[in-house]
Amino acid sequence: MTAALALPIAAIPARAVAAEANEIGFTVLGYKEKGLMKVTEPVLWGRGTFHEVWEVEASAAVDIISGASPQLVTNVSGRPVNSITAASITDRRNTGDAKLTRRFGDFAVSVSRTISDENDYKSHAFGLGAEWSLNQKNTTLAAGYGKSNDRVGSRDDPALHERRDTKEYLFGITQVLSPVAIVQSTVTRSAGRGWYNDPYKLTFTFFDQGIPLLLPDTRPDHRDTLAWLTRYRRHFPSAHGTLQLDYRYFRDDWGIRAHTLEAAWEQTLNERWSVRPALRYYTQGAADFYTPVAPSSPPAILSSDQRLGAWGGLSPSIRVTRRFERGISIEGTLGYVHDARDLRFGGSGSEAFETLRAVYGIVGVRYPF
């Protein structure tokens, strides 16, 4: 299962008013699933402005992954269940990206490059972007084009060398609504062609009669997606707090429909401290070719990967920020992830979906200069 990763710096305006001209930061993520994977990810990032019209942003990260992963879905016990790998997986992914922007008054163009390298997956991507500010910068239109060329391999099969190429298109609008409110809405479409099979996933189905079937994960050779993300920020001066709402609608030609909603309240306690409780809800329907139990005459395309099933998830989190002199700040986030079939909106989660529980912690420092 692969996932498109967004650049740490969005292609669309991250704020309505220009932030500090230059800053660097360092962030560390620690993520642990109950009984499964553990991930540690340090991220170094920076952004700056020079000669007033050039902006550069860059980041580098390393994902250090270890633990077990669901490999096999089998109904040998009478109902489909996930079976995890016997051996612990250890993997490491190195990634880096950079973006250069040139401003021409109310207009800006940007170019970006992203590279990701791990044992069994390599990705090279680039992006082009344009922004146009109107109406005294109350309105900003953004457009973007991206292309990634990926190479898929397998730890278990050295002969596997497949490719996947994806083109992406973005259009967005950012609108200042009032001195205390702003909204941003972005539509992103992608068209992917190539290898989407997960080389580590199998479906092992037993029947009342006849021999069992052991099938590899087989997915379509294309994937077209649409993601519509809308974000709203509203500050309440008398309460010293800000409401943050994000909603994303996702669909693809695999039959998946998903909704993501996150609500947060950032409360400024004083000049030094602020706290941000948040709750994220996610729900998705299953892919057309998802099934945890193969039929006796299996189709050409079939996957039992539960990430393609129907399920929902809740993720509460809390973030605390401590501000120091000269704009330096440290923030710490604690979060919990609970994914389950009965959290799917409207019910009807996939029978074989096994509840995922995870905790994560993020610590980050920012240093303007």
The footprint of another protein on residues 112-151 (CB under 8 A) is 112-116, 118-121, 123-129, 135-138, 144-148, 150
Beta strands in the chain (DSSP E): 23-33, 37-50, 54-67, 70-74, 81-84, 89-104, 107-118, 121-134, 139-152, 162-178, 181-194, 202-205, 213-216, 222-236, 241-252, 257-268, 273-284, 311-323, 329-340, 356-368
d(CA 109, CA 272): 36
According to CB under 8 A, which one of 73, 108, 229, 294 is a site residue for another protein? 229
d(CA 128, CA 135): 24
d(CA 319, CA 362): 9
Closest to another protein by CB, 18 or 76: 18
According to CB under 8 A, which one of 91, 162, 253, 288 is a site residue for another protein? 91
According to CB under 8 A, which one of 57, 74, 133, 219 is a site residue for another protein? 57
Closest to another protein by CB, 123 or 291: 123
Window 276 to 335, contacts with another protein (CB under 8 A): 276, 280, 282, 284, 287, 307-308, 313, 315, 319, 321, 331, 333, 335
Span near another protein by CB under 8 A; candidates 27-35, 75-83, 101-109, 205-213: 27-35
Window 159 to 218, contacts with another protein (CB under 8 A): 164, 166, 168-170, 173, 175-180, 182-186, 188, 190, 198, 200
In three-state secondary structure terms, 270 is coil
C-beta of residue 136 within 8 angstroms of C-beta of residue 169? no
Least distance to another protein, CB of residue 280, Å:
8
Q: Which residues pair with 33 in a beta bridge?
A: 358
Question: Tokens for 122?
Answer: 């390599």
Least distance to another protein, CB of residue 78, Å:
27
338 binds another protein (CB under 8 A): no
Least distance to another protein, CB of residue 86, Å:
15
Closest C-alpha among 191, 248, 133 to residue 4? 191
The dihedrals phi and psi of 238, each to the nearest 5 degrees, come to -70, -30
Closest to another protein by CB, 13 or 80: 13
